[in-house]
Amino acid sequence: MTLVPNQLWRAAAMALVVLLIAGEAAAQICIDVNFRFAGRDPSPAIVQSMQKEAATIWEHYGVQIQWPASQRAGQCPLVLGSFDVLVEYQPSSAIRSSPAVLGRTHLVPARIDCVGIYVDYDETQSLIESVGQSQLITLAGHPDIGPVDIGRALGRVLAHEIGHVVLGASRHQPFGLMRRSFAPADLVTLQRWAYTLSKNEVERLGLREREWREYEAPASPAR
């Protein structure tokens, strides 16, 4: 997808409106995210970039992610859910799906407890490596894909899959974080205009938070 300057301004303005609306209605949700890499040992830069990106996308909406290293810090008085994430490296086959499937998860009706998320490392890396050097300089400030870029892309895929569960939404949206597919340029750009929630999604997040708090609340003693 290529945007002309006027379209870029409109996209930025729409994203700003969404962020302002969402900021007024942010939930207060804390989730634990445990993850492991299979098939290769990632560099610390990839892991840190992935964590930072997923956390930054969701923190604006009042969703705080606790990673394994921070669980002992007791940042959240109440954890409302947990995820087990597998980031797997598998050599791509000659036949690719279109669009590429970068991640998957499953919905749960009530308690979010150790919900599985799968992220395809190879498909994600291959997709962002399709961005040309000149476009990459414009989007990310350098001509070659590096660990931070890979981590940022993985973090965005992870944030999308978390969204399916916390929003209780199996369907995709036309725009924003929960759209069906991500263009390579969207995965590498430093901007996060394409990773927002709509007003309806923010309201849905608030409803889900209340449902989880009621589910977690201890029953009143019988009189």
Q: Is residue 220 part of a domain?
A: no
Q: Which two tokens stand for residue 69?
A: 């290293």
| Count of structural domains, the chain | 1
**Residue 157's closest CA among 183, 197, 119, 122?**
119
Instruction: Supply the pTM of this predicted model.
Output: 0.83
pLDDT, tens digit (0-9, with 9 covering 90-100), for 127-174: 999 999 999 999 999 999 999 999 999 999 999 999 999 999 889 999
Q: Is residue 8 part of a domain?
A: no
Q: Is residue 222 part of a domain?
A: no
Domain that holds residue 149: 22-212
* Consecutive H or E run containing 148: helix 147-166
Which stretches of the chain score pLDDT less than 70?
1-27, 69-75, 91-99, 216-223
Contact, 195 vs 177, CB < 8 A? yes
| DSSP 8-state code for residue 221 | P
Q: Is residue 11 part of a domain?
A: no
CATH code at 83?
A: 3.40.390
Q: Is residue 14 part of a domain?
A: no
Q: Is residue 1 part of a domain?
A: no
Q: Is residue 17 part of a domain?
A: no
Q: What is the pLDDT of residue 178?
A: 97
Q: Is residue 196 part of a domain?
A: yes
